[in-house]
Amino acid sequence: MRGVLITFEGVEGSGKTTQMTRLGRWLRGQGYRVERTSEPDGTPLGAGVRRLFERKPRPLTEVFLFLAARHQHVAERIRPWLVAGRIVLCDRYTDATLAYQGYGHGIDRDLIRELNLRATGGIQPDLTLLFDLAPGEGFRRIGRRRLDHFERQALAFHGRVRRGYLEIQRAEPKRIRLVRAGRDPAAVAAEVQRLVGEHLHAA
């Protein structure tokens, strides 16, 4: 079996990380070899990049930081796993930069697409699960935890990010499957398993 890259996207508090963990357990139970990772901190270099965001970089600087971490991530983790035939589950990937820096901050989206292509060497997700949720509800879920640089952005910013994600999904409905994240987590997990199962059986 060739490797499969499945990415998880969505606004803050949408439950994507929890669902990725549940999906990983389910896939392993089905006999698949699974690797879990995240951006930007999927490598030691990426973890260092994440700390730099607390220095409040400019939006275009954010793009270049994410791309540096992504290039390292693909070279060090994602590409070798795919070559080895693994199912790779990744918490955020190229769509996140387009949604957050492109739609959220207004950086040229065509530029981001071109830079994403160069940073990844053309490795695109086989399937993306977009967990859609109103940003206000997402922040209610987050509660009182310590917020990071992006979570501290204004609610209007997160509204633009959500609208960006939905526009990206409408442009690529076969790759990006919309998951209504406001439901009971068990119901969301069942839908995620169905979508991923269908994709793997069709591959």
Chain center to CA of 159: 17
Neighbouring C-beta atoms of residue 80, cutoff 10 Å: 14
Residue 40's pLDDT band (cuts 50, 70, 90): very high
What CATH number has the domain bearing residue 91? 3.40.50.300
Total number of domains constituting the chain: 1
State the number of CA atoms in the 13 A half-sphere of 200 facing the CB: 21
- Averaged pLDDT of the chain: 94
Looking at residue 195, what DSSP letter applies? H
The pLDDT of residue 148 is above 80:
no
Token pair, residue 113, equals 């697409």
Amino acid at 72: Q
pLDDT of 1: 62
Residue 69's pLDDT band (cuts 50, 70, 90): very high
The more confidently predicted of residues 202 and 185 is 185
Instruction: State which residues form the domain around 180.
Output: 4-202
Residue 48's pLDDT band (cuts 50, 70, 90): very high
The more confidently predicted of residues 148 and 8 is 8
Distance CA 147, CA 125 (A): 28
pLDDT of 187: 96
| Percentage of the chain exceeding pLDDT 70 | 99
pLDDT of 145: 74
Report which of 130, 91, 98 is spatially closest to residue 114, judged by C-alpha positions: 98
pTM confidence score: 0.94
When pLDDT is averaged across residues 41-53 and rounded to a whole number, the result is 94
Report which of 40, 150, 51 is spatially closest to residue 105, judged by C-alpha positions: 150
Bridge partners (DSSP) listed for residue 56: none
Contact 112, 63 (CB under 8 A): yes
Report which of 121, 80, 98, 110 is spatially closest to residue 167, judged by C-alpha positions: 98
pLDDT of 51: 92
Maximum CA extent, the chain: 45
Q: Scan for tokens 């901190």, then name that residue.
A: 41
Tens digit of each residue's pLDDT (9 = 90 or more) over 92-123 = 999 999 999 999 999 999 999 999 999 999 99
Q: Scan for tokens 């439901």, then name that residue.
A: 183
